[in-house]
Amino acid sequence: MSNAPIPYWRLSSFYFFYFASLGSLVPYWSLYLKDLGFDAQAIGTLIAFLPATKIFAPYIWGWLADHTQKSLTIIRIANLLAVVAFAGVFIGDSYWWLALVMFLFSFFWNSSLPQFEATTLNHLENKIHRYSNIRLWGSLGFIFMVIGLGEFFQRYSIGWLPVVVFVLLAAIFFVSLMVPERLHAEHEEQAHIMSVVRQPVVLAFLAVCFLIVLSHGPYYTFYSIYLEDHGYSRRFIGIFWAVGVIAEVVIFLLMHRIIPVVGVRVLLLITLALTALRWLLIGFFPDNTPVLFFAQLFHAFSFGVFHAVGIMLVHQFFTGKHQGRGQALYASLSFGVGGAVGSLVSGVLWDRIDYSSLFALAALAALLAWGIVWRFMRVEIK
């Protein structure tokens, strides 16, 4: 065990700018595309590129990081190429050009976070309960941007969005240059990574990750458009998004105390039940502002608890030289496959069925995940 100090602020700064860029893209990119004149199906497919490349990109770069033992170098290269690729939005705005730009950009942008998660946990060593205290700065970055841009776009054109995202991507790259490398501890005679994946509890965990992110499809793809269609201003849209992430920050601050008392399995069951309730409230009460605010508080569970527990379980399941690919696999199957399928299905169904039915389907996906946890997952953080 090393006594090296944890580079808290350098790690936190990376999360701050990374999720600030997410806070620009997730709530407002659909509105930007709508402003360009794209219909719901085109918006759904263009946004699907953001999670779709997580299906394979993190694992490719994770394999490189694990085999070269140069995780920070891989992270820096990926972030630099993401900046270069995103610059393509300033060249053209046709559907196929934006599809190419979003594919290339997201291929590099999505590759760096799983490797940085592994780097952060390596710095924390046996203090992984402190992960949520570092990761919360990502949530603060998201809140800062989502509120700030909501106010900004209330007064100025949403055409400024690509400029904002480009600046934030450049900031991510420059911050990555300041983070020191930290390799994982060696584990002797490690089994092949597939022997870990084939364990029933790991398979169940990955299925749950896929389903919970899938259930977020209508929310991440169309929530801003949904609110705007029901008469909410862009200032209010930013506030709605921020309320959810503020709740997420609070839960991150408390997770190190909650997990030992409540336990992982019970937390997951509570999280999935509240996630299903959240989608039903959003889908059936769009004109009831207090109910929508209340539903946003459940983001503390549908993302905050789920992600904090997920990162810790991946770190426990995938040890030593498998850490980079373990985090990549988690990102690929959940935010990659789950996110892409959720966006695509939402894009296809948005104009074909009523909104409440679509959010009811999202709730059903969360309840299916609840059943998997109940039946197959009996695990705790060691």
Give the tens place of pLDDT for each residue, 69-120.
777 888 899 999 999 999 999 999 999 999 999 999 999 998 888 788 878 8
At residue 179, the pLDDT reads 86
> What pTM did the predictor assign?
0.76
At residue 14, the pLDDT reads 94
- The beta strand positions in the chain, using DSSP E, are none
Q: Break the chain down into helix, strand, coil percent, rounded to 5.
A: 85, 0, 15
At residue 187, the pLDDT reads 47
CA–CA separation, 311 vs 331, rounded Å?
A: 10
Give percent above pLDDT 70 in the chain. Answer: 93
At residue 129, the pLDDT reads 64
At residue 314, the pLDDT reads 85
In this structure, the number of other CB atoms found within 10 A of the CB of residue 228 comes to 17
* Domains, the chain: 11-180+196-376 (1.20.1250.20)
Residues of the chain with pLDDT under 70: 1-4, 126, 128-129, 182-192, 320-321, 324, 380-382
pLDDT in tens, 15-62: 999 999 999 998 899 999 999 999 988 998 888 888 888 788 877 877
Q: Report the mean per-residue pLDDT for the chain.
A: 87
